[in-house]
A = this chain, B = another copy of it.
Amino acid sequence: MSQKGILIVISGFSGAGKGTLMKKLVAEYDNYALSISMTTRQPREGEVNGREYFFVTKEEFEERIAEDGMIEYAGYCGNYYGTPRAYVEQQLENGKDVILEIEIQGAHKVKEKYPDALLMFVMPPSAQELYRRLKGRGTETEEVILKRMTRAVEESEGIDTYDYIVVNDTLEDCIGQINAIVDAAHNTPDNNEEFIDTIKKELKELLKGDLK
């Protein structure tokens, strides 16, 4: 059965381990492709166009918006960030399960345009563990950590609007959960129209021939 890919939106608290998860998913499983966001902000040192982001001018970004070329976008600190439609749709057409890492407002916009998209929220096993991970990075000031934890409280109010939660306790187990959810989605009748239609047709043909 050749199928179109599944669109997957992954959100979660800062410190829940989304980045590591996605790197591992894409590295170990052929079926996934990671969507690359577009932004008008300046590249930071070491960032490569087309790897971390597609870096474009404000005019280019607004042109994309005008031609309905963005699945979702938002402004943040005077810059645009968004998901270009063309790459995502091409990968889905090729049968890849495409992962977007975006926050809750963006996730809802994607769901409006793609009702079959799977919205997953990555959770830490506990709030204490989230705090421990944020502190453990050793790069964040106490103020930044406080801000992230405050943001986590806000974001936690939206968890119920997701289709699934996945708990990132051990990485392997969490990846198992994500794979199961994606596998399940490949088994809906909507995603198997061609196969179902073929069986229906074959059954009727067999009966017409009186099961010869």
* Chain A positions near chain B (C-beta within 8 angstroms): 1, 121, 123-124, 126-128, 130-131, 142, 145-146, 149-150, 152-153, 156-157, 159-160, 162-167, 176-177, 179-181, 183-185, 187-189, 192, 195-196, 198-200, 202-207, 210-211
Contact = CB atoms under 8 A, between A and B. Distances in A.
Nearest to A134: B211
A55 to B, nearest CB: 35
The A contact surface, by secondary structure, is helix
B206 A187 contact: no
Contact of A149 (B124, B142, B206): B206
List the 10 closest pairs (A to B, CB-CB), nearest first: A127-B202, A184-B184, A180-B183, A180-B180, A181-B184, A127-B203, A164-B187, A160-B189, A156-B200, A153-B203
7 contacts: A127-B203, A145-B211, A153-B200, A153-B203, A156-B200, A164-B188, A183-B184
Contacts of A124: 199
Given A207-B153, A211-B142, A211-B149, A127 B199 contact: yes
A167 B187 CA distance: 9
A154 to B, nearest CB: 10
Nearest to A152: B203
A204 B157 CA distance: 12
Contact of A196 (B160, B187, B195): B160
B187 A166 contact: yes
